[in-house]
Amino acid sequence: MFHITRWKRPTVASALSALALSVALTSQLVTSQAMAAGKTITAVMHADLRTPGMQTTAYIVRDFGYMIYDTLLAQDSSFKIQPQMAEYKISDDKLTYTFTLRDGLKFHDGTPVTAEDCVASLKRWGKADGMGQKLMDFTASLEATDAKTITLKLKEPYSLVLESIGKPSSLVPFMMPKRLAETPAGTPIPELIGSGPFKFVQAEFQPGVKAVFLKNTDYVPRKEPPSWTAGGKVVKVDRVEWITMADAQTAVNALQSGDIDFMEIPSFDILPVLAANKDIKIDTLDKVGFQTVGRMNFLFPPFDNVKVRRAAFMAMNQKDVLDALIGNPEYYKLCGAAFVCGTPLETDVGSEAVVKGNGMAEAKKLLAESGYDGTPVVIMAPGDVVTLKAQPIVAAQLMKEAGFKIDLQATDWGTVVSRRASQKPIKEGGWNMFFTNWNGADLSNPIVNFAIGGKGKNGGWFGWADDPKIESLKNDFARATTPEEAKKIATEIQKEAYEQVIYIPLGQYTQPSAWRKSLTGVLDGPATPIFWNIDKSE
């Protein structure tokens, strides 16, 4: 039986009343603070920031990270890794990497950034991130050899060292004080202190309402022009506020009236309205785009059974999902490539049924053969993020047609982010399936693609797929010496991933942003909205 479980919430009338009051108060507060604080950018991001201290792949947490933290290396718009906090040298035998911190680096509490801080930060990241884990597998030692020097020694040559440390998206190796970096993985960081271009104002943080950032006047930018996450991070405003407006139409109205300056993800159906406003600019800042995916929980029935997973995989139809999610084919692409269409590792191996949408008969057959007992599949369905609303609903309908019983649980994205980390049984608040979007930068090869790992409970992504074959093939990929060899191994990994249904690829899309033309200097990026370099005219 297909039903929706509604979580307790206020009546529609009281919710609308509260929303109107919140918007009015927010508008007044923003206006008064802008007058007091100088230039203020107000932005509505793609999701509410609720758990900034968690080390998670949620993109709103990554976006928060880029505001307050910095990185040793960074990626520019040519996909090249550049120095950021540190310069680097590589030994002739490719086994020793030496990073030297540049002058002028200070944390927001006034203490200098040291090599020990960076080593502790890298080690913490290396336990949580898929690409970091693989780098640590090849690492013999990682030490602070003096106050400004970090020395990384490898067991054997590994070609992705710089790409790992300079990766632009989740999980990013952000640098933080050693005392905070030593917080155990999975435990929230108690103080949100970085060395980046903005400071987080903890006293004004209201989860579900707003997050506030002030210009870090002690930050010393690099001299190079900004390019993606690399180059000079020059802050030209005094304050940035992320305002939560769960209702998309409210946010659009606020953008048109000038109550907010920037909207990360306006819904596709409202773009023509915004385009007609001469004071608003629309552009796609992330040209790489996103892949939307479905992820199952391997720990509990029914998805501990590969035949049940295959049945769900075969039932999916990318076009149905993308039509509901995006609507306009100008912004989406049918694509079954695990490592993103348009990259050297693109292949359609194993994805034909999902891309063509012709696997329903096979789905029904597999489900009948699997021994599935009709246990309801708990799908988490966030209603507060424009780019995550459609997937659970469409998938639930397709799976119901294949013979699944579905429990579609309406919630918000912040709850999904916290709940998906739970390994508890379904009856204790666990889950069977959720949907998310990965930036192309996070998927472009088997090492960076955290979602395609097979580490299970030992460092794997939520859902905890256990597949030693994939992990072995990823090691082979890391050792590949030619593009041809790398492509061959990547194809084998994709074949195994789709046969075992590590996740379900549901197509690619790009997402335009919108902002008032009073903002200038808005930068393209591979993943996150970038708030440095933006100026605001009165």
Instruction: Give the per-residue pLDDT at 11.
Output: 37
Give the tokens for residue 455. 């580490």
What is the predicted pLDDT for the residue at 454? 93
Average pLDDT, the chain: 91
| pLDDT tens, position by position, 375-388 | 999 999 999 888 89
* Token pair listed for 491: 């194809």
Q: What is the pLDDT of residue 357?
A: 96
Whether the predicted model's global pTM rises above the 0.85 cut: no
What percent of the chain is predicted at pLDDT more than 70?
Answer: 93
Lowest-pLDDT range, 1-10, 325-334, 409-418? 1-10
At 441 the pLDDT is: 84
Question: Which three-class secondary structure state does DSSP give residue 340?
Answer: coil
Residues 493 and 524 reside in one and the same domain:
no
Residue range 469-528, pLDDT digits in tens? 999 999 999 888 888 999 999 999 999 999 999 999 999 999 999 999 999 999 998 777
The answer to whether 153 and 95 have CB atoms below 8 angstroms apart is yes
Considering 181, 213, 229, which residue would you say is the last residue of a domain? 181
Query: Which residues, at least 6 apart from 25, have a Cβ–Cβ distance to it below 8 Å?
Result: none
Residue 308: its pLDDT value, please?
98
The SS3 call for residue 347 is coil
Residue 493 near residue 452, CB atoms below 8 Å: yes
Domain enclosing residue 37, as ranges: 29-50+196-284+513-536
Identify whether 65 is part of a domain.
no
Whose structure tokens read 């990318």? 318
> What is the rounded CA–CA span in Å between residue 20 and residue 27?
11
Q: pLDDT tens-digit profile of 155-199?
A: 999 989 999 999 998 889 999 999 999 998 778 899 999 999 999
Q: Both 373 and 499 in a single domain?
A: yes
List C-alpha distances in Å: 152 to 81, 138, 142, 441, 535. Answer: 17, 10, 5, 24, 39
- Tell me which of 181, 216, 248 is where a domain ends: 181
Rounded Cα gap, residues 101 and 507, in angstroms: 41
Q: Is 344 exposed, middle or buried (0-12, 13-18, 19+ CB in 10 A)?
A: exposed
Considering the domain architecture, whether residues 243 and 322 belong to the same structural domain is answered as no
pLDDT (mean) for 235-260: 94
- 503 and 524 belong to one structural domain: no
pLDDT at residue 158 in the model: 92
Helix axes 306-315, 360-370, angle to 10 degrees: 160
CB atoms within 10 A of CB 219: 21
The residue type at 169: S
Give the model's confidence band at 28: pLDDT under 50 very low, under 70 low, under 90 confident, else very high.
very low
Residue 386 is predicted with a pLDDT of 84
For residue 339, the model assigns a pLDDT of 95
Among 19-28, 308-317, 347-356, where is mean pLDDT lowest?
19-28
Q: Are residues 80 and 143 in the same domain?
A: yes
Asked, for residue 277, whether it belongs to a domain, the answer is: yes
* Model confidence band, residue 427 (pLDDT cutoffs 50, 70, 90): very high
- CATH number of the domain enclosing 231: 3.40.190.10
In sequence order, what are the residues at sequence separation of 6 or more whose Cβ sits closer than 8 angstroms to the Cβ of residue 101?
85, 86, 113, 114, 115, 118, 148, 149, 150
- Asked if residue 141 belongs to a domain, the reply is yes
Are residue 119 and residue 155 in the same domain, yes or no? yes
In a domain, 135, yes or no: yes
pLDDT(1) > 60: no
d(CA 298, CA 461): 11
* Residue 5: pLDDT over 50: no
As beta bridge partners, residue 377 has: 406
528 and 448 co-located in one domain: no
Contacts of 429 (CB under 8 A, 6+ apart): 419, 422
Q: Are residues 262 and 300 in the same domain?
A: no
| Per-residue pLDDT band at 27 (split at 50, 70, 90) | very low
% pLDDT > 90, the chain: 77
Q: Which helix (H) or strand (E) holds 152?
A: strand 149-154
Measure CA 412 to chain center.
Answer: 16
- The span from the CA of 450 to the CA of 194, in Å, is 25
Q: Is the dihedral of CA 199, 204, 207, 210 positive or negative?
A: negative
167 plus 236 within the same structural domain: no
Whole-angstrom Cα distance, residue 132 to residue 171?
Answer: 9
User: How high is the pLDDT of residue 124?
Assistant: 95
Contacts (Cβ under 8 Å, ≥6 apart) of 121: 173, 174, 175, 176, 178, 181
- My answer on whether 505 and 527 are in the same domain is no
Report how many domains make up the chain.
3
Residue 261 inside a domain? The answer is yes
Q: Are residues 493 and 517 in the same domain?
A: no
pLDDT tens digits for range 273-314:
999 999 999 999 988 889 999 999 999 999 999 999 999 999
The Cα 370–Cα 310 span in angstroms is 10
DSSP string computed for 363-417 = HHHHHHHHT---PPEEEEEESS-GGGSHHHHHHHHHHHHHT--EEEEEE-HHHHH
| 188 is a domain residue | no
Q: Are residues 127 and 270 in the same domain?
A: no
CATH of the domain at 136: 3.90.76.10
Return d(Cα 122, Cα 126) in angstroms, integer.
Answer: 6
pLDDT digits (tens, 9 = 90+) for 37-92: 589 999 999 888 888 887 787 889 999 999 999 999 999 988 899 999 999 999 99
Coil, strand, or helix at residue 240? strand
Whether 267 has a pLDDT exceeding 90, the answer reads no
Looking at residue 37, its pLDDT comes to 53
Give the 3-state secondary structure of residue 220: coil
User: Is the residue at 241 inside a domain?
Assistant: yes
Average pLDDT for residues 126-148, to the nearest whole number? 94
pLDDT score of 2:
39
Q: Give the CATH number, domain containing residue 431.
A: 3.10.105.10
Q: What is the mean pLDDT of residues 27-41?
A: 57
- 334, 471 contact by CB (below 8 A): no
Domain-located, residue 56: no
pLDDT at 266 over 60: yes
The CA-based angle 407-409-410, given to 5 degrees, is: 150
Between CA 465 and CA 501 the distance in angstroms is 9
What the block records as the tokens of 172 is 């990013």
